[in-house]
Amino acid sequence: MSELSEARIPDAPAIQRLPLLQLILVGLQHVLLMYGGAIAVPLIIGQAAGLSREEIAFLINADLLVAGIATIVQSLGIGPMGIRMPVMMGASFAAVGSMVAMAGMPGIGLQGIFGATIAAGFFGMIIAPFMSKVVRFFPPLVTGTVITSIGLSLFPVAVNWAGGGAGATQFGSPIYLAIAALVLATILLVHRFMRGFWVNISVLIGMCLGYVICGLIGMVDLSGMADAPWVQIVTPLHFGMPTFELAPILSMCLVVVIIFVESTGMFLALGKITGQEVCPRMLRRGLLCDAGASFFAGFFNTFTHSSFAQNIGLVQMTGVRCRSVTIVAGGLLVVLSLLPKAAFLVASIPPAVLGGAAIAMFGMVAATGIKILQEADIGDRRNQLLVAVSIGMGLIPVVRPEFFAHLPLWMSPITHSGIAMATLSALSLNLLFNILGGKERAAINDCHAHSH
């Protein structure tokens, strides 16, 4: 493929050229949806490392800055990096278990985590060209199974939000359920009775209505906002020089491999939604951006970065498939990282509001997977078994997170990720049933054909 044709890859499907206001509003939708996930990782690690409130706020701003820049690079494509599709980037949950353990280890702490992140990002950049060649192991059967699992494994997040958030004192209170139901009903009604622009921002309309009602009944907590500075610049190496220890580095390198497996599934899902063929070259660019973001994240006081699955559902639901939207969303994240008060305002969205929107969107991810499975020979019993077992494996960490608690700690990035479990299961079963058993199956099919 020549450089010229590669440059034209993103324009293969018809891409909507949106007016500026619409671009900003749809971009804001992407930011609001992924914001809770983006700030969750620095919050958890900051608390595990015993940081003060101001230092945790700095960690969050650093994360927003790297997420914004990585989103722009991933969507726009700069040099050899960026898949040039509507992708949102943020701190990956795959590493949380390992990093919480590191934060409590004597002699490692935050500097050790940042050092391991830098080393793992560098390792990722080395292996990205090899990982990108696995596209042929992702036929519709595997891709559909993985994407269905992504949607299903996100559902507990949506349900937790809709019930008032994991830390809510009265989880499942009727007021939380009513807010979530109102947001969801608003999105559905906009889709039923509106067209075009309004459908594109249906999630934003639902969330804004929910936010206003929560504000009126005193559910929006803005305490501490006055203390936040107006402007804060994220400085590299704020917590000191990173340190490089072998055990944390090996653990984070494994995390990067898991992130690559997850991202491959997500990029292929996005390719299906936007009508683009994701070739190995595009996949290499996408994975290089994931690894490059993690490499720079370590210098900028944050953690391993990857593509965000929840935003794929938003692309499918709104039908806005142009990457200019996520480029604008990346710009908004950078602005939020510089304006702590604005970031504070976004962080004050009650979880119930997010939950109402998430139920629709995470469900759309699963629905996309089911749609892709229709392209596979799902009438074949072995293929049905592959789908059944892989989705079951993917749901284990979702249903009982402690299921693998007695396995070695280094396995936690795999065993705690429903997406990784489902992907590895689908890949290995497809290899067993369809790739290694290909000749035998062809012979059986021939026998059936002759007998009829």
For the residues 381-397, what does the mean pLDDT come to?
Answer: 92
Confidence of residue 4 (pLDDT cuts 50, 70, 90): very low
Reported as a pLDDT band with limits 50, 70 and 90, residue 13 is very low
pLDDT of the residue at 3: 34
Tabulate helix, strand, coil % of the chain (nearest 5).
75, 0, 25
* Letter string b/e over residues 390-429, b meaning 16 or more CB atoms within 10 A of that residue's CB: bbebbbbbbeeeeebeeeeeeebbbbbbbbbbbbbbbbeb
Residue 2: its pLDDT value, please? 36
- Look at residue 429 in the predicted model and tell me its pLDDT: 93
Is the separation of the CB atoms in 149 and 394 below 8 Å?
yes
Tell me how far CA of residue 3 lies from CA of 7, 288, 289, 300, in angstroms. 6, 17, 18, 32
Q: Hey, CA dihedral for 97, 99, 100, 101, is it positive or negative?
A: positive
| pLDDT at site 449 | 46
Instruction: Please check the confidence at residue 9 and state whether its pLDDT lies above 50.
Output: no
> What is the 3-state secondary structure of 102-146?
HHCCCCCHHHHHHHHHHHHHHHHHHHHHHHHHHHHHCCHHHHHHH
Q: What is the mean pLDDT of residues 191-220?
A: 85
Judged against a pLDDT cut of 50, whether residue 10 lies above it is answered with no
pLDDT in tens, 134-189: 777 888 898 889 888 878 887 887 888 899 887 778 888 899 999 999 999 998 99
The string of pLDDT tens digits covering residues 39-50 is 778 877 887 777
Q: Is 15 helix (H, G, I), strand (E, B) or coil?
A: coil
Residue whose pair of structure tokens reads 């999630």 in the numeric block: 203
- Return the percentage of the chain with pLDDT > 90, whole number: 20
| Predicted local distance difference test score (pLDDT) of residue 234 | 78
* Per-residue confidence (pLDDT) for residue 14, from 0 to 100: 38
Q: Residue 386: which residues within 8 A CB-CB, separation 6 or more?
A: 141, 145, 426, 429, 430, 433
Res 5 pLDDT > 60:
no
Kind of pairing, strands 305-307 and 89-91?
antiparallel
Residue 203, SS3? helix
- Tens digits of per-residue pLDDT, 227-283? 777 877 877 888 888 888 887 888 788 888 878 887 888 888 888 888 888 888 999
Count CA atoms closer than 13 A to 321's CA, side-chain side.
16
Q: What are phi and psi of 35, to 5 degrees?
A: -60, -45
In angstroms, the first-to-last Cα distance of the chain is 44
Residue 58's pLDDT band, with cuts at 50, 70 and 90, is: confident
Rounded-to-integer distance, Cα 385 and Cα 193, Å = 40
Q: Are 85 and 267 in contact (CB under 8 A)?
A: yes
Rounded to an integer, what distance in angstroms lies between the CA atom of residue 306 and that of residue 264? 11
Residues near 124 by beta carbon (within 8 Å), at least 6 away in sequence: 253, 256, 259, 260, 287, 290, 291, 294, 295
> Which residue has better confidence, 397 or 196?
397
Give the per-residue pLDDT at 452: 52
What proportion of the chain, given as a percentage, has pLDDT over 70?
92
Rounded Cα distance between 324 and 19, Å, is 11
- Is the CB of residue 419 less than 8 Å from the CB of residue 153? yes
pLDDT computed for residue 440 by the predictor: 56
